Structure 1
Amino acid sequence: MTITTDCQVILFKPEGRIDLQGGMALSEKMTAVVAQCNQLWVIDLAKVDFMDSSGLVSLVKGLKVARQSGCRLVICNVQPPVRLILELTQLDSVFEIFSSYEDIFMDTSEKSLAVAN
């Protein structure tokens, strides 16, 4: 898994499966981040081809941690099998989901949300 910190953007790039093991790894990475108010946490799922309930739990925990810290968590590049899981569990209405990483910033400027430069 790759984590990139650029200004106030924290980018998580898990790969493969987000099952029990992958979900735990993602949760550990998210809890290791020193959260600062107004950070943007991005989970790029471009290389994730499978997610089960354990993976969903890690996403929800991450969202909770981000919100409690005054951060915004978004998801991008969701592959069709993972999107199906998010839709079936209706979590697609809970998470902000973007088609691409670039779309996040186009939407951010339109909504006038705080993202530090």
Structure 2
Amino acid sequence: MTFTLERQVTLFKPEGRMDLQGGNALSQQINRVVPAPQQLWVIDLGLVDFMDSSGLVSLVKGLKTARQHNCRLVLCNVTAPVRLVIELTHLDSVFEIFNTYEDALSVLENKDLPVAG
């Protein structure tokens, strides 16, 4: 898993399976972040080829943590199998999903967009 922090953007890049082990790894990375208000947290799922309920739980916990700290969490580069799971669980209406990382960064340029909450 890759973790990057730049200015007001925190990037998480889980890889492989988002099952119990992968979900726990993501949750640990999220818990290590020192949140700053108005920070953008991006979870890039481009290298995730499988997600089960444990992976979904880690995403939802991450979203809850971000909201508690007045941060904004978005998803990008969601692969087809992962998108299917997100859509079947109707979490696509809960998460902001962008096609690319660059698209996700566009929320920083549009300051009138509120933090999801």
Q: TM-score range by the shorter chain?
A: over 0.9
Where does structure 1 lack aligned partners over 5 or more consecutive residues?
A: none
Greater than 4 Å deviation, 4+ residue runs: none
What are the within-5 Å matches in structure 2 for residues 25-104 of structure 1? 25-104=25-104
Question: SS state of the match for residue 63, structure 1?
Answer: helix
TM-score normalised by the chain length of structure 1: 0.93
Measured in 2, the distance between the counterparts of 1:22 and 1:73 equals 18
1:107 is displaced (CA, Å) by 4.3
Residue deviations 1:87-112 (CA, integer Å, cap 9, x gap): 00000000000000011123443463
Measured in 2, the distance between the counterparts of 1:24 and 1:90 equals 22
Measured in 1, the distance between the counterparts of 2:76 and 2:61 equals 17
Measured in 2, the distance between the counterparts of 1:65 and 1:22 equals 18
Question: SS state of the match for residue 37, structure 1?
Answer: coil
Measured in 2, the distance between the counterparts of 1:87 and 1:30 equals 23
Question: SS state of the match for residue 83, structure 1?
Answer: helix
* 1:14 aligned onto 2:14: yes
Measured in 2, the distance between the counterparts of 1:99 and 1:111 equals 20
TM-score normalised by the chain length of structure 2: 0.93
Measured in 1, the distance between the counterparts of 2:64 and 2:55 equals 14
> Percent identity of the aligned residues?
67
Residue deviations 1:4-47 (CA, integer Å, cap 9, x gap): 00101000000000000000000010011011111100000010
Amino acid at match of 2:30: M
Question: SS state of the match for residue 38, structure 2?
Answer: coil
1:78 is displaced (CA, Å) by 0.1
1:85 is displaced (CA, Å) by 0.1
Measured in 2, the distance between the counterparts of 1:84 and 1:42 equals 19
Alignment size in residue pairs = 115
